[in-house]
């Protein structure tokens, strides 16, 4: 038995985050915050037991956040962080803990390396905390900007977990005036006269506090994978050029239409617009509008892809099928693929072109025209 226990304080309200639920239960990169550090402790071989302090009435939120995990004990916290820690220590007192690591649920990304480092620091110290230097120029704005900078070398940022000899921490908390909050436990142990060792902190352990810390998270969470489908047909006509995928193909007939009649790019445009939830090509480029007479269809594709970009999205891949008896598509496939990749500003392996005949059946079989299908997969908020 290692005698190393871990205590996660997760009893706050997360007021500053402005979230609808206490922040420790809100998802960060797809997982409830408290679940991440809880998992890290539960899976660490040198942590004998995990205790989690939550607010009264937060039991269901925790149960939901930790669904499927087991091996932890729940303690009910108090009005301040310090109260919550103290309630946790009282609950642990009878369990024979030798060392205790106290951690903010609000710091989700806790590595095993950090836990190792703190435990080993306790072999020569009563307390150990992770700290990080202050990198930015630092100023005092208490009375407005007076122009003086503060010596950064002496300013360090303190993180959690903070590791302590269990009995020393309990005694220090008893000495600390009741009704006095403390933003961490190291100051309580220091006030009781103990030395506090420092180990190198980890930027990944950043505390999620303000609404902006969660804005990105929520954005990521809300990004959805979407697909769109497109289909188009143009008829063959003598005296027209044949454009497919933005490439001019030598053929006895071309395709008739208002623009350059690039059937493949039209299907692609509709697939992209469809994925973006932005209607169809006719909504944006009405055939009645003389501006689009003879227009090169890559304009339509670029327009559709710019709608996706404007909505904060990006294209995962596009796949297309050209349906015709003639001309043979295979000799042009590579050129079309490269051209479309360039148009969409994605790599060639995100673009696929296929071709098929209809066994001489139907209008394509009779060589009356060309049909094209396209599908696009995108991520978008
Ligand atoms: N904490 C706690 N009990 C309290 C207050 C805070 O267990 N009465 C915990 C929080 O859940 C958090 C950690 O202490 O994991 C650090 O506190 P903080 O980041 O300030 O969280 P909140 O108090 O929840 O946020 P806010 O101050 O914005 O309300
Ligand atoms: Mg707080």
Domains in the chain with CATH codes: 4-215 (3.90.550.10), 219-380 (3.30.1330.50)
Q: How far is the CA of 24 from the centre of ligand 1 (A)?
A: 9
pLDDT of residue 219: 54
Q: How far apart are CA 4 and CA 98, in angstroms?
A: 6
Q: Is the CB of 104 under 6 A from ligand 1?
A: yes
Ligand nearest to the CA of 207: 1
Could you give the C-alpha distances from 307 to 270, 299, 344, 360, in angstroms and in order? 12, 12, 12, 38
pLDDT of residue 381: 65
pLDDT of residue 1: 82
Q: How far is the CA of 288 from the centre of ligand 2 (A)?
A: 62
Q: Is the CB of 24 under 6 A from ligand 1?
A: yes
Give the residues across from 6 on adjacent strands.
50, 101
Q: Is the CB of 14 under 6 A from ligand 1?
A: yes
Could you give the C-alpha distances from 251 to 125, 324, 326, 367, in angstroms and in order? 83, 13, 9, 12
CA nearest neighbour of 122 among 152, 94, 99, 103: 99
Pocket probe mutation, ligand 1, options 105, 106, 213, max atoms within 8 Å of Cβ: 106
Q: How far apart are CA 127 and CA 101, in angstroms?
A: 10
Q: Which residues contact 172 (CB under 8 A, 6 or more apart)?
A: 185, 188, 189, 191, 192, 194
Exposed / middle / buried, residue 324 (Cβ in 10 Å: 0-12, 13-18, 19+): buried
Q: Which residues contact 170 (CB under 8 A, 6 or more apart)?
A: 89, 93
pLDDT in tens, the chain (381 residues): 899 999 999 999 999 988 888 999 998 888 899 999 999 999 999 999 999 999 999 999 999 999 999 999 999 999 999 999 999 999 999 999 999 999 999 999 999 999 999 999 999 999 999 999 999 999 999 889 988 888 999 999 999 999 999 999 999 999 998 888 899 999 999 999 999 999 999 999 999 999 889 876 665 445 678 999 999 999 999 999 999 999 999 999 999 998 999 999 999 999 999 999 999 999 999 988 999 888 999 999 999 999 998 877 899 999 999 999 999 999 999 999 999 999 999 999 999 999 999 999 999 999 999 999 999 999 886
**Sign of the C-alpha dihedral, residues 358, 360, 361, 362?**
positive
Q: How far apart are CA 172 and CA 193, in angstroms?
A: 9
Dihedral angle of Cα 164, 170, 171, 177, to the nearest 10 degrees: 110
Nearest ligand 1 atom, CA 104: 15
Reported pTM = 0.63
pLDDT digits over 1-53, tens only?
899 999 999 999 999 988 888 999 998 888 899 999 999 999 999 999 999 99
Q: How far is the CA of 11 from the centre of ligand 1 (A)?
A: 6
Residue whose CA lies nearest to ligand 1 atom number 26: 14
CA nearest neighbour of 107 among 20, 201, 182, 185: 201
Q: How far is the CA of 86 from the centre of ligand 1 (A)?
A: 14
pLDDT of residue 221: 46
CA nearest neighbour of 189 among 265, 99, 289: 99
Q: How far is the CA of 356 from the centre of ligand 1 (A)?
A: 62
pLDDT of residue 217: 60
By DSSP bridging, strand 99-104 and strand 4-10 are parallel
pLDDT of residue 216: 65
pLDDT of residue 218: 60
Q: How far apart are CA 51 and CA 41, in angstroms?
A: 10
Q: How far apart are CA 36 and CA 27, in angstroms?
A: 10
By DSSP bridging, strand 314-323 and strand 351-356 are parallel
């Amino acid at each position: 038995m290692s005698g190393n226990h871990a205590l996660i304080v997760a009893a706050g309200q997360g007021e500053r985050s402005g979230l609808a639920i206490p922040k420790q239960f809100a998802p960060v990169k797809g997982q409830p915050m408290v679940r991440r550090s809880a998992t890290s402790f539960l899976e660490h071989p040198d942590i004998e037991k995990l205790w989690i302090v939550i607010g009264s009435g937060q039991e269901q939120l925790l149960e939901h956040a930790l669904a499927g995990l087991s091996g932890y004990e729940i303690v009910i916290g108090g009005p301040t962080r310090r109260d919550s820690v103290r309630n946790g220590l009282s609950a642990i007192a009878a369990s024979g803990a030798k060392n205790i690591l106290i951690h903010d649920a609000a710091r989700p990304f806790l590595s095993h390396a950090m836990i190792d480092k703190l435990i080993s620091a306790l072999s020569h110290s009563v307390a150990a905390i992770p700290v990080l230097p202050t990198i930015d120029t630092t100023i005092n704005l208490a009375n407005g900007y007076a122009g003086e900078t503060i010596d950064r070398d002496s300013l360090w940022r303190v993180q959690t977990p903070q590791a302590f000899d269990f009995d020393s921490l309990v005694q220090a908390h008893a000495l600390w005036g009741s009704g006095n909050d403390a933003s961490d436990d190291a100051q309580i142990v220091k006030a009781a006269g103990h030395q506090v060792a420092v180990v190198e902190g980890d930027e990944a352990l950043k505390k999620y506090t303000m609404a902006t810390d969660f804005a990105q998270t929520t954005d990521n969470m809300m990004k959805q994978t979407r697909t769109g489908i497109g289909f188009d047909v143009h008829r063959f006509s003598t005296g027209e050029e044949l454009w497919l995928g933005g490439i001019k193909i030598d053929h006895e007939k071309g395709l008739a239409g208002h623009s350059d009649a690039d059937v493949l790019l039209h299907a692609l445009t509709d697939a992209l617009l469809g994925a973006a939830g932005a209607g169809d090509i006719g909504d944006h480029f009405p055939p009645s509008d003389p501006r689009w007479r003879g227009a090169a269809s890559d304009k339509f594709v670029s327009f559709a892809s710019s709608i996706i970009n404007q909505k904060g999205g990006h294209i995962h891949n596009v796949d297309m099928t050209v349906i015709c008896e003639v001309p043979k598509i295979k000799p042009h496939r590579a050129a079309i693929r490269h051209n479309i990749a360039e148009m969409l500003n994605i790599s060639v392996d995100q673009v696929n072109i296929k071709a098929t005949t209809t066994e001489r059946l139907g209008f394509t079989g009779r060589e009356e025209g060309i049909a094209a299908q396209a599908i696009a997969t995108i991520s978008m908020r």
